[in-house]
Amino acid sequence: MLQLLTERKVRDWTIQALVLMVVAGLVLSFILIARHNLLAQGIATGFGFLERSTGWPINFALIEVSDRSTYARMLTAGLLNTILVGVLGVALASAAGIFIGLARISSNAVLNLIGTVYVEIFRNVPLILQAFFWYAVMTHLPSPRQAIPLSGIGFISNRGIMLPALDMGWADLGLLAAGSVAALWLARRLGRDGVPRAGLITAGGFLVLFAVLLLTGRTPDAPLVSLPVLKGLRFVGGFAIKPEFSALLIALAVFGGAYVGEIVRGGFLAVDRGRIEAARALGLTNFQVNWLVRIPLAVRAMLPALANQYVWLMKATTIGIAIGFPDYFMIVSTSINQSGQTIELLAMLMGGFLLINYTIGWVMNRINRALAIKGREDPA
């Protein structure tokens, strides 16, 4: 026995097992003590409350909810709202950050000045203040009767942004988005395997999926595209982007874009100038140098910092509670006040964000490994 413990591998596994047992014992004792205290105060425990009706509505949801919806359905709606605003915020922040980062390293003095002013302003103003500012802008737009028209296809007012809508449910649109991602992945995979006309094959499959969803998801005798129309003091038809959603999304995109811009600038500045000169010495054009050498090396340098920034932006969606956006955090907070199931709901809140952020980390790590220079991967 003593001889086994002297081996480093066995000793390391033994120490880790003991630490794990201690941590598990502490967690279990915490759960038992908390349950005993709650029962002593007459507070019910468990997740049975999820089947009860909430009794309160929310103003925005991707799935149909009402004041009769259960806590489980309402929490699902809040989680979907968080994922939607987070994903769109990350995408828009990335687009803004790429432009700002390139402007910051540009030799054009005007572009460089624009990028510098943008970063210095929006990076140094707290995100919650920016959310309040954009919410004030959205709610001070003209009323529905004086709404700003969008070339006959929509309106902008203090009720939100009204846009045309396809006669398809959110579930069908989700399947369509998933089909688009799958088609792009399949086209790339088939192209690597040398399958002829891989792009045409996947494009055809995507069009078939779109046609099937369009035929099965439509309401009978309803128009394919529903346009918003003003009737009295409200709009009918189309779909509305609520002011709370717009303000939060703009705040995330603008604030995150300043940080992403600095990450992009740092990534390009990290590229060894010797590699650029070597590429030019080989006779490559400026486009080929940027596309084949500079951008791939810069992206590899950016990815670790971008992963951290994306996780941070997803967590920053919780400021939506300050302007009334029904995200996951707001739904959980309201549920705690109404049901009193604090521990269960906080556990669900932490579990939801752990799932989202671990997914982001996993995706970014996969991309990082795919782009890593062969022979230099981290052995861990």
Angle at 161 between CA 158 and CA 167, to 5 degrees: 140
Superfamily of domain 71-145+242-371: MetI-like (1.10.3720.10)
The pLDDT value given to residue 262: 95
Domain ranges of the chain: 71-145+242-371
Closest by Cα among 141, 143, 139, 138 to 233: 143
pLDDT score for 84: 93
* Alpha carbons 275 and 289: distance in angstroms, whole number: 9
Measure the CA–CA gap between 27 and 345, rounded to whole angstroms.
Answer: 17
The per-residue pLDDT string of the chain (380 residues; one tens digit each, 9 = 90 and over) reads 555 556 677 777 888 888 889 988 888 887 777 767 766 766 666 788 888 899 888 888 888 888 889 999 999 999 999 999 999 999 999 999 999 999 999 889 999 999 999 999 999 999 999 999 999 999 999 888 888 888 778 888 888 888 887 666 666 666 666 666 666 666 666 666 665 655 666 666 666 666 666 666 556 666 667 778 878 777 877 778 899 999 999 999 999 999 999 999 999 998 888 888 888 888 888 888 888 888 888 988 899 999 999 999 999 999 999 999 999 999 999 999 988 888 889 999 999 999 999 999 999 988 888 877 665 544 43
pLDDT of residue 198: 57
Those residues whose C-beta lies under 8 Å from the C-beta of residue 43, and which sit 6 or more positions away, are 340
**Per-residue model confidence (pLDDT) at position 146:** 85
